Amino acid sequence: MTIRRFLFAAGATLSLWCAAPAVGLAQTVWKASDVHPLGYPTVEAIQRMGKKLEAATNGRIRIQMYPSMQLGGEKEMIEQAQLGALQIARISVGAMGPVVDELNVFNLPFVFRDEAHMRKVIDGPIGQELLDRITASPQSRLVVLGWMDAGTRNVYSNKPVAKPADLKGMKIRMMGNPLFVETMNAMGGHGVAMGFNELFGALQTGVVDGAENNPPTLLAQNHYTVSKVYSFTGHLIIPEIFVFSRRTWDAMSKEDQQLLRKVSREAQLEQRALWDAYVGEATTKLKAAGVQFVEADKAAFYTATQPIRDKYGAKYAALLQRIQDTK
Ligand code: GTR
């Protein structure tokens, strides 16, 4: 049995209709997965959504959350959702670029002026168009339920990175997408593509000298225990999405699809509030744990990464212009 077949069989078994003893109704269990642990804003928002689904259907639909990479990294989660072995996957747009190319526009360095700009874009027509494009794309085999926030990504390692020259000779882990590796190379470092599930070990053993992410991830994934300096390079502001298996979706009633759409919209709003609160909390905890926060010359990193925006942005020039025009 191939791993794919096994995963599909396992997922199919879980989502089978089975007896729900408490209410005597048939019950559907949707598997949801996230790389982050319980309590993280994205995980919490999906779990709250599960509670609402359960209440609205008198226990007929339930969500079972598999947090902390129990089902693998994001690439694996996307594959499992495509097969129907997993129903809900919360993933970064970074991991979706290889699936739907146009999304790579959001993966460009410094494409958004700041987080407020990014929110305006995803909350407006551009955000909706991109979600629709993923859902409509035959090769995605996913239905997008909504956006989630993930703040700004900054470099962390054991030394300050204030300007491009500081990255010289440093191996920095990037998400598995050539665009990110080239971005780090343009910033002055040496980008290394690696799955998120391998990163903690790689930081510990010195396979890489650092990585880049938002403060909540630095805390929740315990990376701060090995990387003690967080430098505000601000090179990427990448939103996240939560997607649903097209295979499961197509077998659902119209009413259940509508209900899922409704609670998903609420989950998107709820995650944003949870996110804003958690960023502050994470920063306080990181400082208390001795992490040093360093200001960086963002303008220098912006200039250094211009070739990346030129190269990858050329075919989406009109979309890029609309993003820039979003005030
Ligand atoms: C985090 C994000 C994850 C994953 C991770 C990574 O910010 O929440 O979904 O994409 O970054 O760097 O792989």
Atom of ligand 1 nearest to the CA of 211: 12
Task: Clarify whether residues 176 and 310 are in a common domain.
Answer: yes
Task: Clarify whether residues 39 and 180 are in a common domain.
Answer: no
Q: 156: domain CATH number?
A: 3.40.190.170
- Residue to probe by mutation, ligand 1, list 34, 44, 74, most atoms within 8 Å of CB: 74
Task: Clarify whether residues 256 and 272 are in a common domain.
Answer: yes
Atom of ligand 1 nearest to the CA of 94: 10
Task: Clarify whether residues 183 and 104 are in a common domain.
Answer: no
Please give the average per-residue pLDDT across 259-281, as a whole number. 98
Please give the average per-residue pLDDT across 216-226, as a whole number. 98
**Per-residue pLDDT reduced to its tens digit, 118-173:** 999 999 999 999 999 999 999 999 999 999 999 999 999 999 999 999 999 999 99
Q: Supply angle C-alpha 85, 61, 77, rounded to 5.
A: 25
Q: Coil, helix or strand for 261? A: helix
Task: Clarify whether residues 198 and 127 are in a common domain.
Answer: no
Task: Clarify whether residues 242 and 228 are in a common domain.
Answer: no
Question: Atom 11, ligand 1: which residue's CA is nearest?
Answer: 213
Q: From ligand 1's centre to the CA of 73, what distance in Å?
A: 9
User: What pLDDT, on the 0 to 100 scale, is given for residue 26?
Assistant: 79
- Structural domain contains residue 2: no
Nearest 5°: phi and psi at 79?
-60, -40
**In the predicted model, what is the mean pLDDT of the chain?**
93
Contacts of the segment 164-172: beta carbons below 8 A, 24+ positions apart: 164/188, 164/300, 164/301, 164/304, 166/231, 170/209, 170/210, 171/207, 171/208, 171/209, 171/210, 172/208, 172/209, 172/210, 172/211, 172/212
- Structural domain contains residue 309: yes
- Structural domain contains residue 6: no
- Structural domain contains residue 3: no
Nearest 5°: phi and psi at 255?
-65, -45
Task: With 0.75 as the threshold, say if the pTM is over it.
Answer: yes
Task: Clarify whether residues 41 and 68 are in a common domain.
Answer: yes
For residue 325, the one-letter residue type is D
Task: Clarify whether residues 38 and 135 are in a common domain.
Answer: yes
Task: Clarify whether residues 179 and 319 are in a common domain.
Answer: yes
Task: Tally Cβ neighbours within 10 Å of residue 116.
Answer: 9
Q: From ligand 1's centre to the CA of 164, what distance in Å?
A: 23
Task: Clarify whether residues 87 and 215 are in a common domain.
Answer: no
Atom of ligand 1 nearest to the CA of 238: 7
pLDDT at 16 over 50: no
Q: How confident is the model at residue 318 (pLDDT cuts 50, 70, 90)?
A: very high
User: What pLDDT, on the 0 to 100 scale, is given for residue 5?
Assistant: 47
pLDDT at 21 over 60: no
- Burial label for 278, CB within 10 Å (0-12, 13-18, 19+), is buried
Q: From ligand 1's centre to the CA of 253, what distance in Å?
A: 33
Q: How confident is the model at residue 22 (pLDDT cuts 50, 70, 90)?
A: low
User: What pLDDT, on the 0 to 100 scale, is given for residue 180?
Assistant: 97
DSSP state of 291: P
- Structural domain contains residue 161: yes
Q: From ligand 1's centre to the CA of 18, what distance in Å?
A: 34
Cβ–ligand 1 distance for 278 under 6 Å, the answer no
Provide the domain limits for residue 72.
Answer: 26-150+238-282
Pairwise CA distance, residues 191 & 182, whole Å: 7
Task: Clarify whether residues 31 and 146 are in a common domain.
Answer: yes
pLDDT at 11 over 50: no
| 20/214: higher pLDDT | 214
Cβ–ligand 1 distance for 66 under 6 Å, the answer no
- Burial label for 292, CB within 10 Å (0-12, 13-18, 19+), is middle
Task: Tally Cβ neighbours within 10 Å of residue 294.
Answer: 17
Q: How confident is the model at residue 7 (pLDDT cuts 50, 70, 90)?
A: very low
**Percent of the chain at pLDDT exceeding 90:** 91
Q: How many domains does the chain have?
A: 2
pLDDT at 10 over 60: no
Please give the average per-residue pLDDT across 225-236, as a whole number. 98
User: What pLDDT, on the 0 to 100 scale, is given for residue 98?
Assistant: 86
| 11/85: higher pLDDT | 85
> Which residues are CB-neighbours of 3 under 8 A, at least 6 positions away?
none
- Residue to probe by mutation, ligand 1, list 213, 241, 278, most atoms within 8 Å of CB: 213
pLDDT at 9 over 60: no
- Structural domain contains residue 11: no
Question: Atom 10, ligand 1: which residue's CA is nearest?
Answer: 92
- Structural domain contains residue 7: no
Q: From ligand 1's centre to the CA of 150, what distance in Å?
A: 8
- Structural domain contains residue 137: yes
Task: Clarify whether residues 202 and 262 are in a common domain.
Answer: no
